[in-house]
Chain A
Amino acid sequence: MSVHVSPTSTYVKVFLTLILLTATTVWVAFYDFGILNNVIALGIAFAKATVVVLFFMHVKWSSPLIKLIAGAGVVWLVILILFTLGDYLTRTIHYTAPPI
């Protein structure tokens, strides 16, 4: 298995992207987008994580198996969030028994 060696410039670009995205997070925090506040903040965070995983952690150049395992981590996070929301979003719906 050959090991991918990234040029230093890649790491510099990753660093600058992360700084830029962090600055964006701070900048948007000064505006109120209502319900979109969390969506935007989490979207930026997700973009940052993706950059780190793909380039800094070399997943972009890894074998399909490594990609599968890294992807599984994301899928499992989705399971956690999805089923937890499945509780929170349906709590207020009241069940009325059908007439007998």
Chain B
Amino acid sequence: MSEATSTGYPEENYLTQGSTLKSWLLTTDHKRIGVLYLLTISVFFLLGGLFAAGIRLELATPQGDLVQPETYNRMFTMHGILMIFFFLIPSIPATLGNFLIPLQIGAKDVAFPRLNLASWYIFVIGGCFTLWALVSGGVDTGWTFYTPFSTLFSNSHVLPAALGVFITGFSSILTGLNFIVTIHRMRAPGLTWFKLPLFIWSHYATSLIQVLGTPVVAITIVLVAFERVFHLGIFDPSVGGDPVLFQHLFWFYSHPAVYIMILPGMGVISEVVATFSRKRIFGYKFMAFAVLAIAVLGFFVWGHHMFVSTQSVYAGTVFSVLTMLVAIPSAVKVFNWTATMYNGAVSWDTPMLYAIGFIGLFTIGGLTGVMLGTMGIDIHVHDTYFVVAHFHYVMVGGAIMAFLAGIHYWWPKIAGKTYPVFWSKLAALIVFIGFNLTFFPQFLLGYMGMPRRYHAYPEEFQVLNVLSSAGATVLGVGYLLPVIYLTYSFFFGARCAQNPWGAVGLEWETTSPPPTLNFDEIPTVTGEVYDYSPKKEAQVV
């Protein structure tokens, strides 16, 4: 990362346009809204992380000796709800996406700036309902709200939690809608679809899922609430309903929701790999179509969560085959990142370390997903720690690694400051080691048959569980470090150059941090995307 020369640092930028609380809470600047989201989701991540810490602490010993079983149920439920709906789903789109989409397409803002602010407020209101559920005692249904437990039997605070998720859904829909319209209508002159960075393509695909899928989970949650309060016969078999119908409706959204979490991450990784390999992304068009393919195919596979429900084996077979098809575009992504690095001038800066971590961990998460999509294996490991390990490899090893890669890559753009190289590389290493130590043992535990969602377990599982808990501590340190040095950097860090990585892309053609309206003059695009020609290379150094 190169530091700023005496000239070139913008004294006037989006951060200097008012420092009062009001100037932040009433802003319609997509960059400030991105920062608001970043702060909010960090709080939810911390809360969700505390519950994870509680879970790992309980599981350090085979006996359920730390908390009551009821409390344990509430801990893993709150962990899931907070992490999925309030951290992972908005993590990259609402922060980095919000900040960067207008910059990358050469626009002054998103298409609907006030709607953008409204979606942040809706997110916060939804979060408040969930916190209300939390402080009044929590929920014990699991983040999946499965019926009939959630509608007929649970004595916990299902309603406020469900309402929180319902409300937050609208924030997600509005963000997606905003991005779709922005990408369609606000591109700079000359910026045709196949000149768009893959970060934009992946956010476009993500937005489609948000708009097409989220309404289904919203209405499903309303049905749960109605059945709980008015005893309608939708999911309750004693009055003509069917609990498995809930699983159909829920997973129709919640499988694609996995791609809401991972596709933006793939966008980040594409940018980082191109920049730090000094090469155009290998097979650019394939990469663009691959994210769209994943987004669309993702809507045809939800039944793989229901192999051991009463779902018909014929439907199960179809869902199983379709699930495996998702592996094809996913593999295209992984192979093309690798091919981009091949013969590239690879540099090992912090964002690239996270990106390489992502590629490896996502591959493990994805391949174990193919295993789980195989009905025979799934029946063996269903509801075990194998599943837990699988989706943490995708969501923590994938989505959060990509989030950290993106934060470290665009931090100079967001804050206009440098961060300590040594500490950031150390943190990347600690996160990688801590992550694998936490979750690899869970694959083994699951394969040996340890079920998920229990607070006690047979003694022979203790060694692997202790390893996992120890890893969680390491991982916690790895996550805490960036919070500390980035906060320090934001206030006291050295000013950085406009384009510290020597990257191409419209976002680097404006100052760091950018002015409120992003560009003094709307750029006209003539070159290709990822144009890392040797000539540019020489200019950078």
Q: What residues make up the interface of A, taking CB atoms closer than 8 Å to B?
A: 65, 69, 72-73, 76, 79-80, 83-84, 86-88, 90-91, 93, 95
In the complex the two chains form, what is the Cα distance from A65 to B303 in whole Å?
31
Contacting residues, chain A, for B195 (C-beta < 8 A) = none
Query: Given contacts A72-B212, A90-B314, A91-B310, are A84 and B248 in contact (CB under 8 A)?
Result: yes
CB distance from B169 to the nearest CB of A (A): 16
Q: Are B299 and A79 in contact (CB under 8 A)?
A: yes
Q: Are A87 and B184 in contact (CB under 8 A)?
A: no
| Cβ-closest chain A residue relative to B245 | A84
B312 at the binding interface (Cβ < 8 Å): yes
Contacting residues, chain B, for A86 (C-beta < 8 A) = 312, 314-315, 318
In the complex the two chains form, what is the Cα distance from A1 to B224 in whole Å?
42
Contacting residues, chain A, for B319 (C-beta < 8 A) = 83
Q: Are B303 and A83 in contact (CB under 8 A)?
A: yes
Q: Are A83 and B315 in contact (CB under 8 A)?
A: yes
Contacting residues, chain A, for B306 (C-beta < 8 A) = 87
In the complex the two chains form, what is the Cα distance from A84 to B302 in whole Å?
10
In the complex the two chains form, what is the Cα distance from A65 to B314 in whole Å?
36
Q: Are B216 and A80 in contact (CB under 8 A)?
A: yes
CB distance from A92 to the nearest CB of B (A): 8
In the complex the two chains form, what is the Cα distance from A69 to B249 in whole Å?
21
Q: Are B299 and A87 in contact (CB under 8 A)?
A: no
Q: How many A-B residue pairs have CB under 8 A?
A: 44
Contacting residues, chain A, for B212 (C-beta < 8 A) = 72-73, 76
Query: Given contacts A65-B184, A73-B212, A80-B216, are A91 and B300 in contact (CB under 8 A)?
Result: no
Contacting residues, chain B, for A91 (C-beta < 8 A) = 310-312
CB distance from A2 to the nearest CB of B (A): 15
CB distance from B320 to the nearest CB of A (A): 13
CB distance from B249 to the nearest CB of A (A): 8
In the complex the two chains form, what is the Cα distance from A72 to B211 in whole Å?
10
| Cβ-closest chain B residue relative to A1 | B185
Taking a contact as CB atoms closer than 8 A, the residue among B213, B248, B300 that contacts A87 in the complex is B248
Taking a contact as CB atoms closer than 8 A, the residue among A65, A73, A83, A88 that contacts B300 in the complex is A83
B403 at the binding interface (Cβ < 8 Å): no
Q: Are A87 and B252 in contact (CB under 8 A)?
A: no
CB distance from A65 to the nearest CB of B (A): 7
Q: Are A87 and B216 in contact (CB under 8 A)?
A: no
In the complex the two chains form, what is the Cα distance from A87 to B245 in whole Å?
10
Taking a contact as CB atoms closer than 8 A, the residue among A73, A76, A87, A95 that contacts B315 in the complex is A87
Contacting residues, chain B, for A95 (C-beta < 8 A) = 313-314
CB distance from B338 to the nearest CB of A (A): 33
Query: Residue-by-residue, is B235-279 near A (CB-CB < 8 Å gives 1, otherwise 0)?
Result: 000000000110011001000000000000000000000000000
Contacting residues, chain B, for A79 (C-beta < 8 A) = 299-300
Query: Residue-by-residue, is B271-302 near A (CB-CB < 8 Å gives 1, otherwise 0)?
Result: 00000000000000000000000000001101
Known interface pairs A76-B213, A83-B248, A87-B312; 16 further A-B residue pairs with C-beta atoms within 8 A, sorted by A's residue number? A69-B180, A79-B299, A80-B248, A83-B315, A83-B318, A84-B248, A86-B314, A86-B315, A86-B318, A87-B244, A87-B303, A90-B314, A91-B311, A93-B314, A95-B313, A95-B314
Contacting residues, chain A, for B245 (C-beta < 8 A) = 84
Supply 13 A–B pairs (Cβ within 8 Å), ascending by A.
Answer: A72-B212, A80-B248, A83-B248, A83-B318, A84-B245, A84-B248, A86-B314, A86-B315, A87-B244, A87-B303, A87-B311, A90-B314, A95-B313
Query: Residue-by-residue, is B296-332 near A (CB-CB < 8 Å gives 1, otherwise 0)?
Result: 0001101100100011111100110000000000000
Contacting residues, chain B, for A69 (C-beta < 8 A) = 180
Contacting residues, chain A, for B213 (C-beta < 8 A) = 76
B360-407 at interface with A (beta carbon < 8 Å): none
Query: Residue-by-residue, is B160-189 near A (CB-CB < 8 Å gives 1, otherwise 0)?
Result: 000000000000000000001000100000
| Cβ-closest chain B residue relative to A88 | B312
Contacting residues, chain A, for B249 (C-beta < 8 A) = 80
CB distance from B378 to the nearest CB of A (A): 16
Query: Given contacts A76-B212, A80-B252, A84-B248, are A90 and B315 in contact (CB under 8 A)?
Result: yes
